[in-house]
Every structure is written in C-alpha cells, then in structure tokens.
A and B are shown apart, each in its own frame.
Chain A
Amino acid sequence: MKSLDSKIPNGDLVSKWSQHKFNLNLVNPSNKKKYTVIVVGTGLAGASAAATMAELGYNVLAFSYHESPRRAHSIAAQGGINAAKNYQNDGDSVFRLFYDTIKGGDYRSREANVYRLAELSSNIIDQCAAQGVPFAREYGGHLANRSFGGAQVSRTFYARGQTGQQLLLGAYSALIRQMNLKTVKFFPRHEMLDLVTIDGHAKGIIARNLLTGDIQSYPANAVVLATGGYGNVFYLSTNAMASNVTASWRAHKKGALFANPCFTQIHPTCIPVSSNHQSKLTLMSESLRNDGRVWVPKKKNDLRDPNQISEEERDYYLERLYPSFGNLVPRDVASRRAKEMCDNGFGVGNTRLAVYLDFKDVIAKQGKNWVAEKYGNLFDMYHQITGESPYEKPMMIYPAVHYTMGGLWVDYNLMSNIPGLYVTGEANFSDHGANRLGASALMQGLADGYFILPYTIGDYLAKESSALNSTHEEYQNGVQFCNEQIKNMLSIKGNKTVDDLHKELGKIMWDYVGMSRNKSNLELALKQIPSIREDFWNNVNIPGTGKEFNPELEKAGRLADFIELGELMAKDALNREESCGGHFREEHQTDDNEAKRNDENYSFVAAWEYVKEKESIMHKEQLIFENVKLATRSYK
C-alpha cells in the first residue's frame, strides 16, 4: 500500500493555511517564465488557475476541447456561490461555513481543506465583483444573498439563475486578458489523451487536435488537470454532452490514484426523463426549493390534474418528515425521498417518476412579478422543455446525476500522488466529502484556481529544474500509444454505435450504482460492465477516420474510459459498507430510512490504484477530525 501523505500542515485549524503559505517555497520572479505549466480544461477551475499563474509570470499552456474557454460546463451552474461574508448579519462565519460543508459532506472530507475553502470564500466574491461579474444587488447597491440548500443562513451570492455563467465569464475574461498579453497560449479544440511521466514526475501531455486529428506531445514542468466531473458515466446526467473523465482516467492509468469514485451527487430538482431518446437531463436550480413546495398526492396512482388535487389530499412529505429544514434539506436527502415516494407508487406524470414542486403559495403571497424576477428564466426554461408553465401548473421534478464528489486524489497542495500533477475543481476529490452542498462547486473551483494552486504549485516548481527534454522517448511513446489506440478503435467497425453502448452502460450505472445501492446489485454491475467493455472493443462502429474532425471518435474514446471508470465506481461502492451522503447502501440505514454511517470502519478516503490487467488496489487515507464532533446528520 502506498503511503498517502495528505501533507496537512500542523498547527491549529484557523492558522494552517496562512502558516502553510509562509512555509511554501517560492520561485524567483525572474525564473518563473522559464517554467511551463499546462492547464487542461478551462472552466472555472482551469481558467482561473491559468490566468492567475500567467499573472504570476509562469509560461502557461491552456488546453480545451471546446472552441473557447467560455463554453465550459461551469457555465451551467445556476444557483449561486457561497461565501462566509456575513453581509446579512445572520450569524454566518468562516467556521460556520466550514462546519456546514463538513457536515453536509457527511464527514468524509478533510477538515483542513474544507476550512481553507471557507476561509477563501470571501476573497472569491471580492475578486469576481472586481472583474465586473454582475451579482444581484439590493436597492442600496450592496450585494444580495439568498439561502440555499441545507444552509440556515443567507450566504449565497447569485446572478439571477445564471451564476455559473457570470463567474465563468469572469474567469474567462481574466484568462483572455492573459492570452492577449501572450502569457497564456490557448489550444482550442485540443483533447488531452495521455499524461507523460518521466522518472515518476508529470512532464507534459499528449493531446489531439480535434479539427485535424493531429496528435502531439506538449512538454511542461507541471500539469494541472481541471477537467471536471464524470457524471456522464450514467449517460443521462445534467452534465454537458462532452463532459468526460478521459483526462483524469488516463492520468489514473499512469499512476494517479482515483479517490472515492462512488461518491456521486444526485440532484433532486431536475426535469424528469420523458422518453428513451433523451440525451441529457436539465437541472432546475435548487434555489427553487426556497419558495417551491414539494408534494405528491396522498393517494397512490392519482392521475388527476395537480390543480384538481386539494390541499388535504396532498402530502408535502419533506415538510412532514423534516419540520425544521422542510423543503431545504440537503440534496441527497431530498433526492432519496423523492425516489422513495415514486418507488412506493406516489409518483406523478406519465412515467410516474416525478414529484411536484409547487409555486402556488408563493405566487399567491408575493405576486407573479416577484416570482418572475427571481425565477423567470428557470420557469421559461421549464416551459420550453416540457410545454407547461410553472406559473399555472406545479413543476414536475425528479432527481438526476449532477456532480461527482470523487475524483483524483490530491494532497493539501492539490497535487496528486504523481509529483507535478495537480488536480483542481470537480476533477479532484478533496472538499465535498460524500455530498456537496448547494452553491459550493463554484466556490471550490475558484478557490482552487485563484487562491490555492497558484501558491502551492510554486512550492513544487521551486525544487524542480526548469529544463525540459522535449526529445525524451516518453513523449514519442505517448504519441505512438495514442495513435495506436485510435487506430484500434476505428478498425473495429462493428454494429453498435457509441451512443447505443453508452446507453447500455448508463442503464446499468443508474439501476445498480445509482441513487440507492445494495450488494447484490453492485455485484451484478461488476459482472455486466466487463461485458459492455468487451462489446465495445468488439462491436463499436466509429465512422470516418482519425485524421479529421470526427466527434464520434471523440465520444468513443471517452466512452472507453467511462466503462472502466464505471467498474471502479461499483467496486468502490461495494467496498464502502456504510451509507454516507450521496452513497446510500440499502443495507445500512436507520429505522426511519436515513443514511447510517460507519465512522469506526469507513472514516477514510478510498484511493484506488490502477494496476494493468489486474484488480485495482485500494489505499486508505484516514480522516482525522479534531475540530468537529462526528454526529449523525439530522435535518428534522
């Protein structure tokens, strides 16, 4: 077993980060430009990191499979971003945000990381406001806040329902400014296919130009992966169509440990699946739960129009089960309860896989205009997709895969176990434990990119020589390996399309490794996924060639990695004999169907090591809690 040194600094929680920053080695300013850093992915975490490192003076190469950094899926985050500003004077503090995040994550994250995140949250808001991000404001001109899933204070900053878009455009503007200054070289429509390691250190990547199919090596002194999450392993998720695990997975195959892959978040408020042609799911911001009330009919299989069902015949089950948090319980709880209601026959809509989210009361109380001002764009989006107006009829919602807490293992410096390989944002596993609180993803991506990585990467580079041997055989080997893999895939010419196979994988993942899991289903998944892998490598049909713009080929490469990841997820889920956060094992629940953690035996991070053609090996990083008392989460 590898020793997993999380490099958490000593000292008390509050001063760890500032002390650590002082202890970090610095790179001489005049030497910084000699160091090349590759950033893969230019969403919130990647763009902010690339821009900030360029400001510091490093030579940055930024890669994206999109045509522009502004297309990254960070853009789709709707609700907001948390910060412990306490502008509302409602008792918020860094410690409270830290505590809420640790508790929300069901005590499966590192104290030190989470505290640092809470501490930096305020700086993010300052930074973004200075960039011209048009946050919502009060009439007095100050920033507005709202409360958000699972929090009892108003600490969420927002820009209508498009906070992610505005923050990404902010990070994009910082990045593009550096592109103009020629401190960042941007490689659009380039997909990372492999990591190059030399003597165990990350020394660059292999990337394919998606327009020409040209595969090349790009040497660098350090590599940062900011490549997002792997929710698309379920085929249907709220992730963008191109979101994938390939960069992380290929790094994993080069030795980077993959931590807690089974921790996936199911978002409770998504538009339900309508048919098997569905290509993706659309999220309705969780902020809707601030004013909408969730209910199902009290009678099973009640097919009446929701407006015909009287108050007495409705079961506002979240308010009934959780009197103090009501509709604002954390995502995992709200999702699981919705599934339970539907499984018990109370579901609504054609598929019976939906519950109502009703705005009748708030419209009556505050008026339609007030609601439109706050949620107008979400209501329009819902109307556009379903053909029904939430002003007139309650929304129908159902949980969907939304975010993945798991990811590549990183230490306190955000460096993986491969020296020189850093992982930021959703791609790493670090801060959200087993469940992420609403409005924390944007916070983490930007904290990593703006305020953590640019410091910590210097500590590594200061000890490394800036010299790069671009003729090293590892670069050529990497290019050759990737070319061959593509050639192999293209030569199969079977009878199944990539989408067919992806749907098959998604169904297994959703049914057996989805919202609620049990041993026999997980074992079933572990039996079935390898046969899909087999099927893929024997039967996939990829049209066209590798020397042209070929989106089907891109999809195929990503699916190949998803299949392998799916297996690891099932393995991890099977291994974790407890329920915590987004990971719910039916065998481990309390009498009233709440998740039952096993702190004694599973208070660890499961970091998996890839072993070629053999079973993956699990390494444990024990989680130590010195500042919070582990308690059963209760939202009653």
Chain B
Amino acid sequence: MQFLFSSIGKKIQVAISGIFLCIFLVFHLLNNITLFFGPAVFNAMVHFLESIKPMIRIMEFGLLFILIMHIGNAIKLTIENKAANPVNYKQSQSNDVSSLNSRTMLISGTIILLFIILHLSYIWLSYQTHNPNNHSETYYDILLRNKIGFLGHKWTALFYVIAISIIAFHLRHGFQSALKTLGFLPNSKNNFLYKIAFIFWGIIPFGFIVIVLSIQFGIIN
C-alpha cells in the first residue's frame, strides 16, 4: 500500500497504465487497417469481435480501469507537484532545459480525454446500439454513413487529425518517460528502446491519420 501511495509508486502506476493504453492503440490500429481490405474483411472482423463479446466487455472494463488509474494518478501527482512548487519564476526559460511536451502533459492529456469521450460517443456508442440482425446496414456502412455525418466531414477529419497529433505529442514524452519510470532506458539516445518509443509516438499516430484522411479523400469507400 505504501508503495502505491509513494511518489515513485504513483509514477509507476501512471507509467504502467500508459503503456497498456499504448498497447491498446496497437490493437485499435490493426483493427482499423482492415478497412483497407474492403467491407467483407472489416465486417467479418467486427462480427468476430461481437462473437466474443463477454471477453471484450471484460477488456473494456479493464481498459476503463487502466484509464482511470492513469488519469487519477496523473491528476493526483499534478496537484501534489503544484503544491510542492507554489510560486513560479518571474522569467521562465524552461525551453532551454526541458521540452514543451514534457511540461504540458496535463493539458495534452485533458484534450485527449475530451477527444476520447467524443470519439466513443460517435463511434463506439453507435456500434453498441446497432443490431445487425434488425438492420440492413453493416458495421462498415455505419462508418461510411459517418462519412456524411462524421468522419467524412472535413471539419471532423481535421479535428481528428489534430487530436491524433496531440496524442502523438503526449506520447512523444509519455512513452519514453514511462520507460524511465520503470527503470529502463539508459540515458543514451542510441538505445533500441528509443526506437520502440518512436513506434508509439510516430508510426502509430501516423497510421491513424492515414486512415482518417483515407476516409476523407475517399480512398476507403
């Protein structure tokens, strides 16, 4: 218990939960990539997931728990950190000594949370309320229906691109910071763990952006 409430303990909770969330993104991206293979493949994939619904539910609750653990500890740390440093310097030159990403994790995190809520309410919720047996629309159609109402709209697409960029911005610091907190990552920029970090803050967000733009420009239809 003492471990969980210690400074390093809280950091470790944020780090572990963050890494799990990153791993979730890998699965999310893999799912989305099936869009490129046409409606049949995508629908089959969703139907498969539907067929193991109880397990998915458990995983969703797990994910929610991890998210709460991430956000809860992050907020707690931020409050404590503010209390530890109540007065700001009059003239701050933090850019010389630390990156903007690292100093704005709470802001980027808050934006990401809002994005998640919106994202879930648009897509996840519409999937939950969708009963393929009573409806002619397939899962694939829902997404394309959204081409008009949601993802296909240029402002929505722009919002998605920005939001995903902010995720990238958050992970640029977050992933390698999590590894440091867990005691990995020697302080050498050549270490292979930095390359793994790049997958998470570079390649994966790039993949999501490609998908959003592919829908917007009709490559996926």
In the complex, A touching B, CB below 8 Å? no
Q: Which positions in B face A, CB cutoff 8 Å?
A: none
Chain A residues proximal to chain B, CB less than 8 Å:
none
